[in-house]
């Protein structure tokens, strides 16, 4: 019993310890479960991280590959850059050499330009001495503004700006011409030559010729004036330097061969004198020499005889053909080398043929008129080998070469001009009228009245926009063509 009493406390203690151990064991089980959950979570995280590491390794491998490729490209770019730098250096050296050559050329051109400006300034100063324009648009004639030596005529004429009286010249045709600077040259009282300019409102006397003036013509540069002079005793052609108001050369033709027509082709002057066509090549036109040393009668011209006396001759605007007409109505055509390419009977005998060459729509035309009241239009084609056209309606002529158009006018024709801007032909007539015709059908579109006698001379200004006409002892300065009144028949090409 006592032993049992001694064991019972021990059993109670053991029981309490067992309970404590069971409680502790339960805590351990709970911790185990918690740790096991943590381990499972860690294993999942580790697996995920292993996948990421694997992917990162692949990325690193790709980056290493790209890095190697980039390094190769960078190396290649460095090589290319070095090559470009070398080429750039070479280009800089070449550019420096080019710049040096350019600077040298620029200086040379600048020196030449300066010299040209000085030369041009000198030429302008010389040309200003003889005026600038024949047809200023705003000119109004007043008592103080009249041209010196040319007295104004007060009668009123439609489409005319004003009229001036001039000294009578026995030679009727080819004694009026206008140059590229709009300076008008006109024969005055048989032996005097005047240069007219409306801008300066004066007429200056160029000089007095040794014989009667028969014709005159400006060269293409407008600086030299050729004048055909002559009478029964002598016949010469005088070349005047207008800038110096001096005689430059004197060319001799056979006695009694009056020069009636002149035409320039560059520095070649062609003249019709008597039964001969003369041609000279004038040298020294641009030289600044002593004038007297250039008065030369010894220059030998090329000369060709004709059956009849030459009445007119003219080089075409393009200088490709030369056309001559004679008093007996014959027309001759020459090429640019002055080789004859054709002959035709253009008008009746003793017709006093008027002549005009012009280009229209790429075709070269020749207009002729005469005192037998006939206006004809010819077409030159195929290297100027023939003149082709329909048979004249009048039936008067029966020849192999015929004009494209044959118009029987009521009165004789004294002169012909071509207006390119209006594609029209203008003719002077023995009644004093000036007629305008369409081209190429030759329909009459306007009649200008004003002259008291036949206007033997017609001349257009430099831009072909206006006209001056000369009769026996008067000149009419007409308004610009664009200011002409509309023709009464409503067929006109001008409107106002």
**What are the pLDDT digits (tens) for 425-484?**
899 888 889 998 888 788 888 889 988 888 889 999 988 889 999 988 888 989 888 888
Q: How far apart are CA 425 and CA 356, in angstroms?
A: 9
* DSSP, res 223: S
Tokens at 16, concatenated: 């309490």
- Nearest to 316, CA basis, from 356, 361, 280: 356
CA atoms within 13 A on the CB side of 296: 15
CA 263 to chain centre: 23
CB atoms within 10 A of CB 281: 12
Return the pLDDT at 177. 94
Return the pLDDT at 148. 47
Percent pLDDT > 90 in the chain is: 10
DSSP annotation string for 353-406: -EEEEEEETTEEEEEEEETTTEEEEEEEETTTTEE--PPPTT-----SS--SEE
Q: How far is CA 20 from CA 7, 14, 29, 247, in A?
A: 20, 10, 14, 155
- Assign 186 to helix, strand or coil: strand
Task: For residue 317, name the pLDDT band (cuts at 50, 70, 90).
Answer: confident
Average pLDDT, the chain: 77
- Is 130 in contact with 456 (CB distance < 8 Å)? no
Q: How far apart are CA 474 and CA 164, in angstroms?
A: 6
Q: pLDDT of 339-355, one tens digit each? A: 888 888 888 776 577 87
Task: For residue 2, name the pLDDT band (cuts at 50, 70, 90).
Answer: low
* DSSP, res 292: G
Q: pLDDT of 411-437, one tens digit each? A: 578 888 889 888 888 998 888 899 988
Return the pLDDT at 133. 33
- Assign 141 to helix, strand or coil: coil
Q: Express the helix, strand and coil content of the chain in percent, nearest 5 each.
A: 30, 35, 40
Q: How far apart are CA 49 and CA 373, in angstroms?
A: 121
- Is 318 in contact with 308 (CB distance < 8 Å)? no
pLDDT greater than 50 at residue 132: no
Element at 100 (helix H, strand E) = helix 2-128
Q: pLDDT of 354-389, one tens digit each? A: 878 877 667 788 888 877 677 888 877 664 433 333
Task: For residue 138, name the pLDDT band (cuts at 50, 70, 90).
Answer: very low
Q: How far apart are CA 466 and CA 161, in angstroms?
A: 11
Return the pLDDT at 380. 72
Return the pLDDT at 191. 85
Q: In terms of pLDDT, which residue wins out, 351 or 98? A: 98
- Is 242 in contact with 195 (CB distance < 8 Å)? yes
pLDDT greater than 70 at residue 295: no
- Nearest to 263, CA basis, from 240, 241, 279, 243: 279
Q: How far apart are CA 206 and CA 193, in angstroms?
A: 6
pLDDT greater than 60 at residue 298: no
Handedness of CA 420, 424, 425, 428 (dihedral sign): negative
- Assign 349 to helix, strand or coil: coil
Give strand pairing partners of 363: 360
Tokens at 435, concatenated: 């007629």
- Is 367 in contact with 356 (CB distance < 8 Å)? yes
Dihedral of the alpha carbons of 131, 134, 135, 141, in degrees to the nearest 10: 80
């Amino acid at each position: 019993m006592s032993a049992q009493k001694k064991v019972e406390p021990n059993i109670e203690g053991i029981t309490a310890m067992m309970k404590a151990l069971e409680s502790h064991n339960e805590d351990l089980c709970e911790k185990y479960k918690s740790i096991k959950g943590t381990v499972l979570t860690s294993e999942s995280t580790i697996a995920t991280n292993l996948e990421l590491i694997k992917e990162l390794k692949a990325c690193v491998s790709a980056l290493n590959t790209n890095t190697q490729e980039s390094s190769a490209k960078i190396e290649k770019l460095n090589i290319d850059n070095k090559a470009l730098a070398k080429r750039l250096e070479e280009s800089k050296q070449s550019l420096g050499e080019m710049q040096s050559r350019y600077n040298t050329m620029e200086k040379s051109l600048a020196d030449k330009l300066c010299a040209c400006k000085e030369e041009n300034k000198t030429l302008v100063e010389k040309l200003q001495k003889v005026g600038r324009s024949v047809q200023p648009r705003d000119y109004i004639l007043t008592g103080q503004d009249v041209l010196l030596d040319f007295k104004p005529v007060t009668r009123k004429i439609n489409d005319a700006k004003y009229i001036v009286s001039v000294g009578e010249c026995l030679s009727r045709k080819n004694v009026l011409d206008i140059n590229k600077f709009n300076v008008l040259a006109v024969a005055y009282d048989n032996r005097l030559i005047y240069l007219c300019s409306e801008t300066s409102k004066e007429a200056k006397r160029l000089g007095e010729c040794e014989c009667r003036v028969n014709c005159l013509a400006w060269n293409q540069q407008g600086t030299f004036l050729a004048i055909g002079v002559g009478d029964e005793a002598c016949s010469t052609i005088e070349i005047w330097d207008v800038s110096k108001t001096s005689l430059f050369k004197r060319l001799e033709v056979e006695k009694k061969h009056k020069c009636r027509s002149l035409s320039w082709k560059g520095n070649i002057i062609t003249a019709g004198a008597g039964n001969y066509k003369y041609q000279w090549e004038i040298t020294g036109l641009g030289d600044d020499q002593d004038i007297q040393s250039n008065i030369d009668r010894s220059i030998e011209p090329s000369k060709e005889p004709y059956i009849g006396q030459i009445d007119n001759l003219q080089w075409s605007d393009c200088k490709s053909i030369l056309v001559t007409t004679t008093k007996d109505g014959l027309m001759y055509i020459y090429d640019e080398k002055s080789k004859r390419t054709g002959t035709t009977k253009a008008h009746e005998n003793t017709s006093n043929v008027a002549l005009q060459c012009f280009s229209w729509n790429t075709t070269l035309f020749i207009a002729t008129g005469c005192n037998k009241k006939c206006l004809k239009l010819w077409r030159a084609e195929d290297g100027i080998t023939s003149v082709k056209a329909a048979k004249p309606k009048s039936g008067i002529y029966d020849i192999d070469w015929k004009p494209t158009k044959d118009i029987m006018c009521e009165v004789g024709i004294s002169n012909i001009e071509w207006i390119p801007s209006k594609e029209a032909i203008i003719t002077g007539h023995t009644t004093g009228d000036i007629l305008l015709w369409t081209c190429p059908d030759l329909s009459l579109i306007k009649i200008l009245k004003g002259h008291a006698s036949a206007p033997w001379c017609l001349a257009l200004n430099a831009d072909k926009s206006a006209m001056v006409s000369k009769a026996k002892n008067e000149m009419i300065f007409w308004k610009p063509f664009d200011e002409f009144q509309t023709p009464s028949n409503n067929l006109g090409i001008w409107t106002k």
